[in-house]
A and B are shown apart, each in its own frame.
Chain A
């Protein structure tokens, strides 16, 4: 595997994997609650706003918060972290991901197949579907990159046109994306300002938030290869507001570790990460407690 060089036996890849595996078993109930919860709240906003129980402005603010919480539950599902390899539970992955992504107007199948390619080819300019945002020079560049619309996905399809499994998922997702677009266009005729401020604007803010914290900060100016493609970083924002994406590097090493188990996993894996010279590993606190990842 690329990036696995020689280190002392006590920090061997097998031992690292063994520790990581111990954090990769728990059912991610928090993520399920957040995913299903935010999508349900978002759906409830429509009648509440239309019948005047809350103002459109307040509804829009709540919808934006929902949109910022929408992707991560799907991300866990894309990695099978709800089913944990149990075929009988795979429907949970699919249900949570499809449902939580409604707020962002994202199709699960499209997200899953492109995300798997992101893991396989992180920071590869030709093959990483997230390279456009990860390579942006500023946050404004990230914002511009997220507005490319269908153009980005046309170029991804061109790159992977010979990968049958990828293209099958891609087209399945594309149909769902078109359905979302059609629903939005019907809604905008009936409820124009509600469609703008409850769905279109929150989804845009959500995608920018997602691209900034999940893609740009962890991968910007990083190399390719295991232990080198993602960094530990710090930020002025409390980590619960940026989904603890400072810890995103451990997800790239061991995607099976659930999001809420990452802090404990990093504490256990810190010596391994330092031995492997993971960028920023020496700055990892010994205890990832309530909020030690702030840099003022």
Chain B
């Protein structure tokens, strides 16, 4: 007695930013042949998720 659920409730936006938006930004960069370090795109995703967490909403 799971009480994982606290982590998800508090950090889901950060994880979502890192994994989802990081992967999407990286895929777009590959598509347009931008030769930047992939870690940069994951950092952008992490930043987006962190801002969303601080503000409590994506918009």
Residue A294 interfacial (CB < 8 Å): no
Residue B35 interfacial (CB < 8 Å): no
Q: Contacts A143-B59, A188-B20 known; A149 to B28 CB distance under 8 Å?
A: no
Contact present for A189 and B23 (CB under 8 Å): yes
Min Cβ gap A40→B in Å is 25
Min Cβ gap A135→B in Å is 16
Which of the segments A192-200, A212-220, A224-232 contacts the partner chain? Answer: A192-200
Q: Contacts A178-B8, A185-B16, A185-B19 known; A192 to B27 CB distance under 8 Å?
A: yes
Residues of B near A192 (CB, < 8 A) are: 23-24, 26-27
Contact present for A147 and B57 (CB under 8 Å): yes
Residues of B near A200 (CB, < 8 A) are: 20
- Chain B residue at minimal CB-CB distance from A185: B19
Contact present for A189 and B24 (CB under 8 Å): no
Residue A148 interfacial (CB < 8 Å): yes
Residue A144 interfacial (CB < 8 Å): yes
Residue A181 interfacial (CB < 8 Å): yes
Contact present for B31 and A181 (CB under 8 Å): no
Contact present for A184 and B59 (CB under 8 Å): no
Partner of B58, one of A147, A154, A188: A147
Contact present for B58 and A149 (CB under 8 Å): yes
Q: Contacts A178-B8, A192-B26, A193-B27 known; A185 to B56 CB distance under 8 Å?
A: no
Whole-angstrom distance between the alpha carbons of A184 and B26 in the complex?
Answer: 16
- Chain A contacts with B in 70-97, Cβ cutoff 8 A: none
Q: Contacts A147-B57, A147-B59, A193-B31 known; A188 to B9 CB distance under 8 Å?
A: no
- Chain A contacts with B in 143-192, Cβ cutoff 8 A: 143-144, 147-151, 154, 178, 181, 184-185, 188-189, 192
Contact present for A150 and B27 (CB under 8 Å): no
Residues of B near A148 (CB, < 8 A) are: 56-57
Residues of B near A184 (CB, < 8 A) are: 20
Min Cβ gap A63→B in Å is 16
Residues of A near B56 (CB, < 8 A) are: 148, 151
Residues of B near A154 (CB, < 8 A) are: 9
Whole-angstrom distance between the alpha carbons of A144 and B28 in the complex?
Answer: 25
Contact present for A185 and B8 (CB under 8 Å): no
Residues of A within 8 A of B (CB): 143-144, 147-151, 154, 178, 181, 184-185, 188-189, 192-193, 195-196, 200
Residues of B within 8 A of A (CB): 8-9, 12-13, 15-16, 19-20, 23-24, 26-28, 31, 56-59
Query: Can you pick out 19 interface pairs between chain A and chain B where the beta carbons lie within 8 Å of each other?
Result: A144-B57, A147-B57, A147-B59, A149-B57, A178-B8, A181-B12, A181-B16, A184-B20, A185-B15, A185-B16, A185-B20, A188-B23, A188-B24, A189-B23, A192-B26, A193-B28, A193-B31, A195-B20, A195-B23
